[in-house]
Structure 1
Amino acid sequence: MEEYKKRIIKAIQYIDNNLDIELSLEKVSEIAAYSPFHFHRIFRLITGETIQSYIIRKRIEKSAFYLALRKNIKVKEIYLQFGFSNHSTFNKTFKKYYGKAPSEFRKSAPENFHKIQLKQSKNGQIDMVFQQYICNIENLLNWTNMNLKIKVTDLPEMNLAAVMSLGIANVEHSFNILINWAKKKNLFSEDHVKMISVYHDSFKVTPANKVRIHAYMLLDEKLKKQEGEVFSETIEPGKFIFGSGEVTLNDFEQCWVSLFLWIKENNYTARKAFPFEIYHTNFKEHPEGKMIVDFCIPIN
């Protein structure tokens, strides 16, 4: 737990102290000693913001401070210093946070603006922010202990029937195609069939309407040829981290982030293979919308 606190605080402090330089996800995640993919998800869950949103907000807040207290500095110098390429972008972004243009804000900022900021700091506002993030980590880990059973296991090769889904909204349709195909071939039985989703893109870099999430069904034997939209794929054998639990759809993000934290804590590294989910029950058939799921990450 102490290590998580140190890493998150170290990353936030690095951002806050370097708002005048380029802050890439790769650089900040390196400071926190996480991979960019893992850190992006952890940061968002803990702070409630993406890294990019957090950086923009902090740059706008710092710009407001400069506008109020350093009135001899031109607005252009301020927005260029904090990474805004032109006045139009800076003006639009600033108005989103403060409801007025930078020049108007400068005119109306109180003379004791800096005293207000100092007073907020003395009252523990900054410490409270860090404490809130730490509390989020503690809550996440507590939630994990209560809701997921995590284990490391070896899996054999898995033969799959697959239907491609482009965009998260189309996943259910892809599963329906797969189930109808299986029923016609007498392969579908709700008692023992395993349905699987494999993520072929990251939500970090791919829009939700374009991310590829293939719908899969585990087969006893490899599918010999493509049949309509149904084609054959294989999950290679190897070592996997399994996080298993009965959860709702809203819990999925927490489950994935929990596994990423667990991997780091236990000195494992993810293999360059796609993570996936194995569904054992249907959330539509549960009164609380819950389903039994295995969240699986290939590891070395």
Structure 2
Amino acid sequence: MKEYKKRIVKTIQYIDENLDADLSLEKIAEISAYSPFHFHRIFKLVTGETLQSYITRKKIEKSAFFLAVNKKVEIKEIYLDFGFSNHSVFSKTFKKYYGLPPSEFRRTAPEVFHKILQTQSKNGQIDTVFSQYICTIENLLNWTAMNLKIEVKEMPKMNLAAVMSLGITQVESSYNVLIDWAKSKNLFPRENVKMISVYHDSFKVTPPDKVRIHACILLDEKPEEELKGEVFSETIEAGRFIVGTGEVTLHDFEQCWVSLFLWMNEHHHSMRRTFPFEIYHSNFKEHPEGKMIVDFCIPIH
């Protein structure tokens, strides 16, 4: 099973980095070094989805995220970036997932980011609905001022060792795998070690059991050889980031992210097409109130 997962990790990374490219079963199977027949079965076994369902979902979820956070970008530019040939196909597919066309979705998603909830209707169908975040904008801004120090700064390139988690409930086990690996390399425990979670999906548009999160450890330097398999190499490129720093509990994380995206829009920044992440400077398990010092980081232009 571990060998299966290693190959699926490789193919998922390829898919997510090439959503506008040829993602046929034959091409993806070639990347995974399986026959198309075997790859299709193994992919569904590991992810719980068919390859085509996964690809379509990723394209629509990424499109939804950028419709909400980059409102000045034309809808056409977004759907072409994610490999949709025309507006009709994109709109029909988008409406199937979110219950409304892209333009209406963009208009309905306010600057504070309405939270998308999936509720089971009486006839068993999944309806996607918008529910306003529990705080008013004023309260959220006050909470932000009291709990987060926010700044825009240049950050250096970061070389990471990573383990993929498919679903929020798998993150802890991914970190356990990562820490066992780090111990074998004498990288853990050590002073000022930094653990980082990289979010390749947003909880606002992706169900929690399908969100892809990479559990990472910051390396002092790039490995001499590329890491492969369950523990693989990942790079966060240097650039500008909005960084919100605070001492918070796990319960506060969603509010921190909502606050940071609100701050981004209020200050007229736009997000780059790469992934937000968290840097942990302390361990909540070692704090009497379950608090930890965290940097919440959004890549911006």
Structure 2 SS opposite 1:210:
coil
Structure 2 SS opposite 1:256:
helix
Separation in structure 2 between the aligned mates of residue 264 and residue 212 of structure 1, nearest angstrom: 25
Separation in structure 1 between the aligned mates of residue 195 and residue 267 of structure 2, nearest angstrom: 29
Letter of the 1:292 partner, please give it. I
Q: Does 1:286 align with 2:290?
A: no
- Describe the superposition over 1:30-82 as per-residue Cα deviations: whole angstroms up to 9, x where unpaired: 33685xxxx5x7223xxxxx4777xx99xxxxxxxxxxxxxxxxxxxxxxxxx
Question: Larger C-alpha radius of gyration, 1 or 2?
Answer: 1
The structure-2 alpha-carbon separation of the partners of 1:33 and 1:164, relative to structure 1 and needing over 3 Å to count, comes to: closer
Q: Which residue of 17, 21, 26 maps to 2:102? A: 26
Separation in structure 1 between the aligned mates of residue 238 and residue 108 of structure 2, nearest angstrom: 31
Letter of the 2:288 partner, please give it. P
Give me the TM-score of the superposition, normalised by structure 1.
0.59
> Cα distance, 1:185 vs. partner?
1.2
Contact 2:245-2:293 within 8 A present in 1 as well: yes
Consecutive unaligned residues of structure 2, counting only runs of 5 or more, are: 1-97, 127-131
Q: Does 1:189 align with 2:189?
A: yes
Report the counterpart of residue 246 of structure 2 in structure 1. Answer: 245
Separation in structure 2 between the aligned mates of residue 283 and residue 197 of structure 1, nearest angstrom: 15
Q: Does 1:210 align with 2:286?
A: no
Contact 1:171-1:213 within 8 A present in 2 as well: yes
Structure 2 SS opposite 1:260:
helix
Q: Does 1:170 align with 2:134?
A: no
The structure-2 alpha-carbon separation of the partners of 1:283 and 1:27, relative to structure 1 and needing over 3 Å to count, comes to: same
Separation in structure 2 between the aligned mates of residue 133 and residue 256 of structure 1, nearest angstrom: 12
Structure 2 SS opposite 1:172:
helix
> Cα distance, 1:191 vs. partner?
2.7
Report the counterpart of residue 269 of structure 1 in structure 2. Answer: 270
- Describe the superposition over 1:253-296 as per-residue Cα deviations: whole angstroms up to 9, x where unpaired: 11001011111111100000000000011111111111100000
Consecutive unaligned residues of structure 1, counting only runs of 5 or more, are: 1-21, 45-49, 58-87, 94-131
Contact 2:161-2:227 within 8 A present in 1 as well: no
Structure 1 SS opposite 2:298:
strand
> Cα distance, 1:189 vs. partner?
3.2
> Cα distance, 1:187 vs. partner?
1.2
- Which of the two has greater strand per residue? 2
- Describe the superposition over 1:74-129 as per-residue Cα deviations: whole angstroms up to 9, x where unpaired: xxxxxxxxxxxxxx849x99xxxxxxxxxxxxxxxxxxxxxxxxxxxxxxxxxxxx
Structure 1 SS opposite 2:165:
coil
> Cα distance, 1:28 vs. partner?
4.0
> Cα distance, 1:205 vs. partner?
3.4
- Which of the two has greater helix per residue? 1
Report the counterpart of residue 226 of structure 2 in structure 1. Answer: 225
Give me the TM-score of the superposition, normalised by structure 2.
0.59
Q: Does 1:180 align with 2:251?
A: no
Structure 1 SS opposite 2:189:
coil
The structure-2 alpha-carbon separation of the partners of 1:269 and 1:25, relative to structure 1 and needing over 3 Å to count, comes to: farther
Report the counterpart of residue 136 of structure 1 in structure 2. Answer: 136
Misfit runs of 4+, over 6 Å: 132-135
> Cα distance, 1:207 vs. partner?
2.3
Contact 1:226-1:232 within 8 A present in 2 as well: yes
- Identity score, percent: 65
Separation in structure 1 between the aligned mates of residue 298 and residue 118 of structure 2, nearest angstrom: 26
Contact 1:198-1:214 within 8 A present in 2 as well: yes
The structure-2 alpha-carbon separation of the partners of 1:177 and 1:89, relative to structure 1 and needing over 3 Å to count, comes to: closer
The structure-2 alpha-carbon separation of the partners of 1:225 and 1:140, relative to structure 1 and needing over 3 Å to count, comes to: same
Q: Which moved more, 1:188-197 or 1:239-248?
A: 188-197
Structure 2 counterparts to residues 2-21 of structure 1, below 5 A: none
Separation in structure 2 between the aligned mates of residue 227 and residue 43 of structure 1, nearest angstrom: 38
> Cα distance, 1:215 vs. partner?
0.4
The structure-2 alpha-carbon separation of the partners of 1:134 and 1:286, relative to structure 1 and needing over 3 Å to count, comes to: closer
Separation in structure 2 between the aligned mates of residue 288 and residue 133 of structure 1, nearest angstrom: 25
